[in-house]
């Protein structure tokens, strides 16, 4: 399996101190128009991501400013990547119906084809506390679990057609939660019985896209169609909503939660795209911060790294970015 390394320096002017609460930094990915997306921070601090249009898996070292690319099977068009505690890199083959495991040491790949050919587009992956992988299948209209120890799948189909399961996250009880982008529903699967439970957002026009679970196990989703932030309390079933700062046309897409319980979204309706925070305690939004250099175009998924206290994201403008949401720990400066 071929791989190669490219060293880059941060382009002048890309460190944008927008306000005291947020710093944005972006690095240009060396493979043009490859749609770098869905970064994941490894235990060693390096940042893995996939090139969905470029058909690769890659890693970025923010200390050295180096990118390294790993070639994968033609036609994979990877959509998402996550990194296990042992450093193994797992990615979803969005066009060839498989989940892959990449060994960074030698670039070797272990392939896990989905058990049904109709499940051709594994979408977003999430580890549970046991190291097993829950994932959504958007066009295949299902949610699945891959037991990583033996490679066995368990698939939970959606009862309604075109539900389009999309974002997914795991709560403190090891339950996967996901939103249905083709409907006005939020779903969960019992990890023991595999029973599906769905919660309906009252407005039939709602189209939740990404999902965040806060430390108190509240479920937040961004309603892409209506420009709303939606919260579900799984205990009571109560659903609350707040209009995003940019209103109905805000197009909230990527989401992440930080260690202070705040929920972050990227509004993709405005140009440039904007980072927006929400404090569940005060139920107030922070001042939106534009992604001024690349414009975002579009930020589809992002993750919070508690070690660096930052959010990592990819953009359709061919950059990998970091949003420093809090100062780094004293004595451990952020690279």
Per-residue pLDDT of 205-247, as tens digits, reads 999 999 999 999 999 999 999 999 999 999 999 999 999 999 9
The reported pLDDT for the residue numbered 115 is 95
pTM: predicted TM-score of the whole model, two decimal places: 0.92
pLDDT in tens, 191-206: 999 999 999 999 999 9
294: pLDDT confidence band, cut at 50, 70 and 90? confident
Helix, strand, or coil here: 223?
strand
Task: Report yes or no: 64 and 101 within 8 Å, Cβ to Cβ.
Answer: no
pLDDT reading at 1 higher than 60: no
CA 321 – CA 312 distance, rounded (Å): 6
The band of 335, judged by pLDDT with boundaries at 50, 70 and 90, is very low
Torsion of CA 144, 95, 113, 175, to 10 degrees: -20
| pLDDT score for 165 | 98
Q: Which residues of 122-155 are buried (b: 16+ CB within 10 A; e: fewer)?
A: bbbbbbbeeebbbbbbbebbbbbbbebeeeebeb
Is pLDDT at 333 greater than 60 in this prediction?
no
The model's pLDDT over 152-190, given as tens digits with 9 standing for 90+, comes to 999 999 999 999 999 999 999 999 999 999 999 999 999
Residue 67 has pLDDT above 90, yes or no: yes
Give yes or no for residue 274 having a pLDDT over 80.
Answer: yes
Nearest alpha-carbon partner for 78 in 60, 101, 102, 53: 53
For the domain spanning 3-324, the CATH number is 2.130.10.10
- How many other CB atoms sit within 10 Å of the CB of residue 240? 14
Per-residue pLDDT band at 10 (split at 50, 70, 90): very low
pLDDT band at 328 (very low <50, low <70, confident <90, very high): low
CA–CA separation, 320 and 323 (whole Å)? 10
Query: Residue 283 pLDDT > 60, yes or no?
Result: yes
Q: Where are the domains of the chain?
A: 3-324
Q: How confident is the model at residue 2 (pLDDT cuts 50, 70, 90)?
A: very low
- What are 133-152's pLDDT values in tens digits? 999 999 999 999 999 999 99
Residue range 30-55: mean pLDDT, rounded: 97
Is it the case that residue 254 has pLDDT exceeding 60? yes
Average the pLDDT over 83-99 and give the result: 97
Residue 155, token pair as written in the block = 């698939």
Average pLDDT over residues 251-267: 97
Conformation bin of residue 318: beta by default, left when phi > 0, alpha when psi is -120 to 50? left
**Cα 175 to the center of its chain, rounded Å:** 17
Please state the rounded mean pLDDT for residues 54-67: 97
Averaged pLDDT score across all residues of the chain:
92
């Amino acid at each position: 399996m071929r791989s190669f390394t490219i060293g880059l320096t941060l382009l002048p002017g890309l460190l944008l101190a927008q306000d005291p609460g947020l710093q944005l930094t972006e690095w240009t990915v060396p493979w043009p128009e490859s749609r770098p997306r869905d970064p994941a921070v490894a235990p060693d601090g390096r940042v893995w991501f996939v090139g969905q249009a470029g058909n690769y898996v890659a890693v970025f070292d923010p200390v050295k400013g180096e990118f390294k690319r790993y070639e994968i099977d033609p036609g994979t068009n990877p959509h998402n990547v996550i990194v296990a505690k042992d450093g193994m890199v797992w990615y979803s083959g969005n066009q060839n119906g498989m989940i892959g495991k990449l060994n960074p040491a030698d670039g070797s790949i272990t392939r896990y084809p989905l058990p049904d050919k109709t499940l051709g587009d594994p979408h977003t992956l999430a580890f549970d506390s046991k190291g097993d992988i829950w994932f959504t299948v958007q066009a295949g209209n299902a949610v699945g679990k891959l037991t990583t120890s033996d490679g066995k799948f368990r698939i939970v189909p959606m009862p309604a057609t075109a539900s389009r399961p999309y974002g997914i996250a795991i709560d403190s009880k090891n339950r996967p939660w996901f939103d249905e982008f083709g409907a006005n529903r939020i779903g969960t699967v019992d990890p023991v019985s595999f029973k599906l439970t769905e919660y309906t957002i009252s407005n039939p026009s709602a189209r939740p896209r990404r999902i965040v679970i806060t430390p108190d196990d509240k479920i937040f989703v961004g309603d892409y169609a209506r420009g709303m932030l939606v919260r579900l309390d799984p205990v009571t079933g109560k659903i609350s909503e707040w209009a995003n700062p940019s209103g109905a046309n805000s197009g909230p897409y990527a989401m992440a939660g930080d260690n202070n319980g705040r929920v972050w979204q990227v509004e993709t309706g405005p140009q440039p795209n904007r980072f927006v925070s929400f404090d569940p305690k005060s139920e107030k939004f922070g001042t939106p911060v534009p992604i001024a250099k690349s414009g975002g175009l579009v930020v589809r998924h992002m993750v919070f790294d508690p070690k660096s206290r930052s959010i990592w994201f990819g953009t359709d403008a061919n950059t990998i970015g970091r949003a420093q949401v809090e100062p780094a720990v004293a004595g451990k400066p952020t690279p």
